Amino acid sequence: MSDKLYDEIPSLDLADFTDGSPEQKQAFVQSLGQAYHNIGFVAIKNHGLTDEQTEKLYDTIQQFFSLPEEVKTKYEIPELAGQRGYIGKGKEHAKGRTTGDLKEFYHIGQNVTDHDPIKEEYPDNIWPDELPDLEGIGSEVYQTLEATGVKMLQAIALYLGLDENYFDDKVHNGNSILRPIHYFPIENPDEVPADAVRAAEHGDINLITLLMGASADGLQVLRRDNKWIPITALPEQIIVNVGDMLSRHTNNKLKSTIHRVVNPPRELMGTSRFSIPFFMHPRSDMDLSCLPNCVDDDNPKLYADITAGEFLNERLAEIGLKK
């Protein structure tokens, strides 16, 4: 397999996988696998999300974040460890850091409707009274991105030499999170810690992340040669990247690449940035042990056996959301 240094992340068409010829489907699988082996990020079109859905959700969450602080904090429930509702400014930090990121966010989680007993593991979603539209559009986008994520994982499974549906039952009613984020304006940059950034360098916890277009520049990914390159997507694309759970499960065959959101130039610090990632998680009992076909003499096993739920709890503590 070639180890290629990308100047920009590759762009792929999911329709080649879902509706293409066998040759197109196979080409998508190989291109996706190579991109995930080398850089861990791709831009995807024909992902199922409409412009109307995107605009409506962005408009609604911008209204939420513009509410007064005392209204937003009504929806912050500390005992939920940030798993549902509002999470206030500076509450989350990157693993290995103590300075909080310059952001606030809102968490929308799984809504179990098929009597699956896993419902007992999940707190109910929290919907703000002030924005009755959020429940409808938030749930709609959640389900759309979840379905897209299933397709992406099917392509990943084929690349790994597994059954195409290997991940399907592992992510059915998975612990996925839709996270609208507001990187809030900094009117006086001298009043924040010198090392504070919008999102410090980190890897995502989950299997894969699907990112709806962000409203401003700033997202960067760390290439293998330690060069930061900007991540940009065309309006009709979403970004889909590998998370730490998938990297771990594949013994690092697929790369969870470090990324960050840098602060804008000083003269633009007073502006907002919005972004909406969908963090696709499996069920808590998924075994994340390294896949046997990703371990050999040249690639010895790198990780101890662990379940998705155990790994998530470890990481929530490391980033400051769980005590």
The CATH number for 209's domain is 2.60.120.330
The predicted structure's pLDDT at residue 209: 95
CA distances, 316 to each of 1, 81, 94, 291 (Å): 34, 8, 10, 24
Structurally, the chain folds into a number of domains equal to 1
Measured between alpha carbons, how far is 122 from 99 in angstroms, rounded to an integer? 29
| Residue 121 belongs to a domain | yes
Q: What are the CB-based long-range contacts (under 8 Å, 24+) for 150-157? A: 151/14, 151/17, 151/18, 152/14, 152/32, 152/44, 152/208, 152/210, 152/240, 153/207, 153/208, 153/280, 154/17, 155/17, 155/28, 155/29, 155/32, 156/32, 156/33, 156/36, 156/208, 156/246, 156/254
| Residue 6 belongs to a domain | no
| Residue 323 belongs to a domain | no
| Residue 5 belongs to a domain | no
pLDDT in tens, the chain (323 residues): 456 677 788 999 999 999 999 999 999 999 999 999 988 999 999 999 999 999 999 999 999 999 999 999 999 998 888 889 999 887 766 666 666 777 899 999 999 999 999 999 999 999 999 999 999 999 999 999 999 999 999 999 999 999 999 999 999 999 999 999 998 888 777 777 676 777 778 889 999 999 987 555 788 889 888 889 888 778 889 999 999 999 999 999 999 989 888 877 777 778 888 999 999 999 999 999 999 999 999 999 999 999 999 999 888 877 666 66
Measured between alpha carbons, how far is 137 from 181 in angstroms, rounded to an integer? 16
| Residue 245 belongs to a domain | yes
Cβ neighbours for 59, distance < 8 A, ≥ 6 positions apart:
none
| Residue 2 belongs to a domain | no
CA distances, 52 to each of 23, 48, 141, 258, 313 (Å): 32, 11, 11, 31, 35
Domain with 30 in it = 11-318
Q: Which residues of 301-319 are buried (b: 16+ CB within 10 A; e: fewer)?
A: eeeeebbbbebbeebbeeb
The predicted structure's pLDDT at residue 218: 83
| Residue 49 belongs to a domain | yes
Show the tokens assigned to 96: 């290995």
CB 44 within 8 A of CB 36: no
Helix 133-159 with 51-65: angle, nearest 10 deg: 120
